Structure 1
Amino acid sequence: MNNRTIGVIPLDNRACCFQFPKRIGAIAGYDIIHPPIEALGNFMDAGDSERSKEWIRKQAGSVSCLVLSIDQLAYGGLIASRAMDRTLEQCKELLSIIPEIKREYPNLKIAAASVLMRLSITYKNKEFLEYGMMIFKYSQLYDKVHRLGESELREELEQLRECIPAHILQEYLEARKRNHEMNKLILDWCAQGIVDYAVITQEDASPIGMHLSEQKLLMEQIYTSRIQHKAMVYPGADEAVQTLLIRMIQELEGKQARIYPRYSSTAGKLAVADFEDRPVEETVNCHILASGAVRVDHPDEADIVLIVNTPEPDDRPQDTKAYFNSRHNYWDIVQGIKHEISRGRNVAVADVAICNASDLELVQYVLEEGLYLELIAYAGWNTAGNTLGTVLGHAAARWLGMQDSALAHKSAPYHYTFMLERLLDEWAYQAQVRGEINKWIDTELGLNPNHLENQYLIVNEKVQLLMKEKFEQVRTVLLQQINRTNRDGIGVADFHMKDVRLPWNRTFEVSVVADCKFKQA
C-alpha cells in the first residue's frame, strides 16, 4: 500500500510551525496529520505534551513516517523551552515515547528536530523585556572570557551579572544546561538507531556567545558516535520540521532535488545575517543538505535554481524594509529570474536581505514584471534560516508535485495558495503593516508590541483592517498575471483572504489563511 500520510508534531501553534508543513505536504501530494492545535499550547501556555505522546502512540501504526519537534514534546513548545517549568527527568519521561514506538515499529522512520537555545530570554513580561538584551550581552561576554580567554573582560562580565536579577539569570542558565542534555540524548538515540535523522537548529544567536561551546560539544558527539550521515547542527528553529518533512518525502519518493544557489552579491553571500553565527552561503549549504537535497555547481545540473537575495553587510534597514542603496542589486535578481525561467528552469527566491520581512524594492519589481507566480517558491520571513527552510521545502515539494501530471493538477491549488499567503505575510504584514501597527500601539496604547496585555482584540482588529487593504491591492495585480502563462493547465478564477489574525498576544507574527478559486483552463 502506498501510504502518503505523515505524522508531525509541530513546534507550536503558530502558522509557520503548524500551517506551513501542511501546505508543503499537500503540494507534494502528502497528507500531514498532527495533534489537535489546542494540544500545542499558545504563547506563554505550554503545550500538553502528554496528549501529544498519546497521539503518537495512537497514530504510529498508520503513518509512513514521523517528524517530531522535540521542543514541543519535551517542553511544550519553543517559548516553554526557555523556561524551567519542567525538569530534565520530566522531559526525558515525555520523550520516552520515541524509543517505545521504535521498538513496536522498528521499520518506521523517525526524524527529530531540536533547538539549541537562543542567546536571550523570552519577553514574557515587562521585567523580562528590560533584561533581555543584558542576557544577550552576558552570553557574549561569558564566551569571550571563558572560551576565547579574554580575561580583561572578566570584570565587565561580573558587573553585568550584578545588574541582572539572580532569578532571571539562573533560569536562563539552567534552561541552557537542561536543553543541552536533551540535545545530547537525541544524538545518542541517533547512534542507537532510535532516531533515523536529527537536526539541532541554532535559534537566534551571533558569531559570539555561549551557544558556540555547546555546538562544539555536540559536533564532537556526532563525530565520536559516527553519525555524521544522520545528524546536523546549523542555524534555524521554527522551520526545522518543514526541513525534515521534505527530507522524508524525498526519501519516500526515492528522489533528491538538485539545487543550484545563485547569490545577488558576493559581499552578501559572505555576510552574517542578523541573529545568525555564520556567513549566508554556509547557512544556505546547511539547509540544502538538511532538506535532503544536494547542492550542484551549475544551473544545467539543477532541478531548482535558488536565487538568494542577500543582505548588504554595512547597511541594515530599520524602519523601512528597503535599502535604497545602489549596491543592492535587485535588478540582477529579476533579470536572473527571467533568464532561468526562459530556459525552462524552476526558480525559487530566498529573500534573506532584510530580517523578518520581504525586501520591498525586490518584491515590487518582481510583481511589476509579472514574475511572482512564475516562481516555484518564495519566502522572506524572520531569520535567514527560517526563510531558507521554508523556500527549500516549498520548492522541493513543488518540484516533486510536478513530476506526475495528475498530481501536479491536484496539488497546484495548494501551491498558489501558499504563494499568496507568503506574499501577504512577508510583503504585506511584515514589511509594511507591522511597522505601522507598532507605531500605532506605541502612540495610542502605550504598550510594547511584544506583549499586548489586555488589548489583543483592538490590535487584532486594526491588523485585519490594514491587511484587507493590502490584499485588495495585490489581488488585482496577481489576477492580471496568473492566467497569462500557466504550466498547470488550470485557470484561476479568484484569490481570497479567508482569515488573518495575530496568533499570539504580540505583533511579531501574523497568521494568514488564503484561498485560490480555480476553473478548468
Structure 2
Amino acid sequence: MIDIALVPLDDRPVCRSLPALVAAVAGAHVQVPPADLLPAQRRPGDPDGLARWLAGRRADATVVALETLGLGGLIASRLRDDPVTAVLGRWAALRQGPAPVYAATVVQRTPDADDAGEEPDYWARHGRALHAYSAALHRGIGAAELPVTNVPAAIRRDFLRRRQRNHVLNQAALGLAAEGVLDTLVVGADDTAVAAVGTAEWQWLRTWTSWLELTDRVLAHPGADEIGAVLVARALAAAAGHAPRIAVACADPDGLDRVARYEPVPVGVGVASQAAAAGAEVVDHAAADAVLVVHPPQPGDADWATAPPADTDPGPAARTAALVRRLLAEGRPVALADCALGNGADPRLVAELAADGTYARLAGFAGWNTAGNTVGSALATLVAYQVGRAAGTLDRSAARRLLAHRLVDDHVWMSYARPRLRRERGTDPTRHDHVPDAETARVTDRIEHLLRERWRHLDAVPGFAVAAGSVCLPWHRTYEIDFTVEEDR
C-alpha cells in the first residue's frame, strides 16, 4: 500500500495519530512533520516550515489540513491575523508536494461557553453572548438592522473580521479544487448549531460548490478533527482502485433523522457525506460488502464531557447490540458509530457488546466528541479494513489494536474514567481545566489506574492493554489524553 504525507490539524492524538492507525489497517504508512513544526494548543505551528516540509516530501499522496499549512493550526486560525495573501503563499506548496492532494478546511466555530481556552481572550467574558449574537445574525439574514446585543462593538467587529478572513480562505480553497490542485476538499462544520454564522457560511460554501459543479470532489458535512483519518481512507481507496460498498443501518427507525448536539443537520445526512469523503459508496443492504451501524443520538442535554449522566437508557443499547449481532451472524464486516451522547461512548452498549465477545468481532468502532467525529472515524476504519481485504494487505493485528485503542479512548476514558477523575478533582466540566506540571505525574498515574481497572473488567479485546507509563496529557488538561495500546503478553 501507499505512503501518505500528512499535515494534521494540530498535535492532538485524534489529528496526529489516528490517521496513521487507520492507514496501518490497510498496510499503509503515514509521514507526519516534526513536532517542532506542529501546533501545540495555543502555540501555533510553523506554517512556513510546514510548507517547506511538504514541498520536499516524497510520498504517494498528501492529506493536508489547510488551517495548519496556512496559519499554523486550527486554534491559530482563530487567533492569528495573517493576511489572506500570506496564507495563499504558503498554500503554493500544494503545487510542489506529493500528489494527489486530499485537503480539508473548517468553518470556524462559535462555541456556547464563556471559555477562552481555544478562542480569543474576550471569549472568557462574552462567549455565550457571541454565540447568541451569531445565531441571531443567521436568523436575521436579509433584515434591515443588526440584532441587539450587549457585546461591545469592538469585539463584535473583531469576531466577524476574523470569520470574514477565514471565509475568504475557504472560498479560495474551493478555487484550488476547481483548478485541480486539490483532488478532494472536505469542508467541515466545527461544533456548530442549526442557527449560527458558521452554519450560514457552510451553506454558502455548499451553494458555491454546486454552482462550480464540484459536488463529486468537494464534500461538506459536520466534523473537523476526524477529517484527516477520513481523507487517509479516501487516499487508500483511490490507490487501490476500490470503493467499498457500505450499507448504513440503525436499530431505531427514526434514528438517522435525528440531529445530534453540536451539529446542524440530521446524522444520516452527515453519514452520506462522510462516506463519500472516505471513498465509499453507500448502497442498500443486499448490495453491501460491509455495514456501518449507527447508535443514534438520544434525547436530552446529557454529554460525557460537560454534563455526564448517572446512567443511560438500556433500551436503545440493547436494540443496537442486537442489530450488530445479527449483521455479524450474516458474515458482514461491521463498524459501529456510537452517536448516542456527545463526547463519549454509551457504557451500556459497550457492556452489552463486551459481555459475549461481540465487540472484538467488529471491524471498527468510534464514540468520541461530536457525531461527525464519530461517524467519520468509524467509516474511515471500515474503508481501510475493506480496502485492505480487497488489496490483500489487511493487517488484522493493526485492526484489533485500533479497535482496542478507540474503546480505551471513547469509553474507558471519556465516559468512565474522565467523569470520575473530574469529580475527584472538583473540576467544572463546563470549562477546560489546566493540570499544573507539579500535579501531572499524580494525575496521569490515577488515570492509568482507572483505565487499567475498567479495561480488565470489560476484557473486550483480549491480548491488548494500555502500556504502563504511557498515559500523558498532551494539552495539559483532562479533556483528552494520549496513551499507547500494546500487546498484553
Q: What TM-score does the superposition give when structure 1 sets the normalisation length? A: 0.86
1:10-45 deviation digits (Å, cap 9, x = unpaired): 110000000001101111111100211231110000
Contact kept? 1:25, 1:397, Cα under 8 Å: yes
Structure 2 spans left out of the alignment, 5+ residues: none
Contact kept? 2:294, 2:338, Cα under 8 Å: yes
1:180-217 deviation digits (Å, cap 9, x = unpaired): 11111111111111111111111111111112332233
**2:345: which partner in 1?**
358
Contact kept? 1:322, 1:361, Cα under 8 Å: no
Q: How does 1:16-415 map onto structure 2 within 5 Å?
A: 16-59=14-57, 62-101=58-97, 108-120=99-111, 122-124=116-118, 128-147=123-142, 149=143, 157-158=147-148, 160=149, 163-298=150-285, 300-314=286-300, 316=302, 319-321=307-309, 324-325=312-313, 328-403=315-390, 407-408=393-394, 411-415=395-399
Contact kept? 1:308, 1:350, Cα under 8 Å: yes
Q: What amino acid maps onto 1:114 in structure 2?
A: T
**Cα separation, 2, equivalents of 1:245 and 1:74:** 20
How well do the aligned residues superpose, as a CA RMSD in angstroms? 2.4
Following superposition, the deviation at residue 55 of structure 1 comes to: 0.8
Residue 473 of structure 2 is aligned with which of 502, 505, 513? 502
Contact kept? 2:452, 2:465, Cα under 8 Å: no
Q: What TM-score does the superposition give when structure 2 sets the normalisation length? A: 0.92
In the superposition, relative to structure 1, how do residues 515 and 457 fare at CA in structure 2: closer, same or farther (>3 Å)?
farther
Following superposition, the deviation at residue 421 of structure 1 comes to: 1.4
Following superposition, the deviation at residue 313 of structure 1 comes to: 3.0
Residue 432 of structure 2 is aligned with which of 450, 453, 459? 450
In the superposition, relative to structure 1, how do residues 476 and 438 fare at CA in structure 2: closer, same or farther (>3 Å)?
closer
Contact kept? 1:68, 1:110, Cα under 8 Å: yes
**1:489: which partner in 2?**
none
How many corresponding residue pairs? 482
1:380-430 deviation digits (Å, cap 9, x = unpaired): 00000001111111111122223466x33xx22222221111111111111
Deviates more, 1:253-262 or 1:454-463: 454-463
**Cα separation, 2, equivalents of 1:457 and 1:252:** 48
Q: What amino acid maps onto 1:505 in structure 2?
A: H
State the SS of the aligned residue for 1:512.
Answer: coil
**Cα separation, 1, equivalents of 2:382 and 2:125:** 40
State the SS of the aligned residue for 1:501.
Answer: coil
**Cα separation, 2, equivalents of 1:324 and 1:431:** 11
**Cα separation, 2, equivalents of 1:204 and 1:447:** 17
Deviates more, 1:310-319 or 1:69-78: 310-319
Q: Report whether the alignment pairs 1:421 with 2:405.
A: yes
Q: Which runs of 4+ in 1 moved over 6 A?
A: none
Contact kept? 1:305, 1:348, Cα under 8 Å: yes
Following superposition, the deviation at residue 438 of structure 1 comes to: 2.6
Contact kept? 1:119, 1:205, Cα under 8 Å: yes
In the superposition, relative to structure 1, how do residues 433 and 166 fare at CA in structure 2: closer, same or farther (>3 Å)?
farther
Following superposition, the deviation at residue 329 of structure 1 comes to: 1.9
**Cα separation, 2, equivalents of 1:199 and 1:284:** 14
What fraction of aligned residue pairs are identical, expressed as a percent?
26
Contact kept? 1:21, 1:242, Cα under 8 Å: yes
**Cα separation, 1, equivalents of 2:155 and 2:411:** 36
Contact kept? 2:242, 2:390, Cα under 8 Å: no
In the superposition, relative to structure 1, how do residues 404 and 256 fare at CA in structure 2: closer, same or farther (>3 Å)?
closer
Contact kept? 1:449, 1:508, Cα under 8 Å: no
**Cα separation, 1, equivalents of 2:284 and 2:326:** 17
Q: What amino acid maps onto 1:64 in structure 2?
A: D
**1:478: which partner in 2?**
459
1:462-499 deviation digits (Å, cap 9, x = unpaired): 243133333243236437x74xxxxxxxxx4x534251
User: Is the radius of gyration larger for structure 1 or structure 2?
Assistant: 1
Q: What amino acid maps onto 1:417 in structure 2?
A: R
Deviates more, 1:43-52 or 1:207-216: 207-216
**Cα separation, 2, equivalents of 1:415 and 1:464:** 28
Following superposition, the deviation at residue 295 of structure 1 comes to: 0.8
Following superposition, the deviation at residue 432 of structure 1 comes to: 2.0
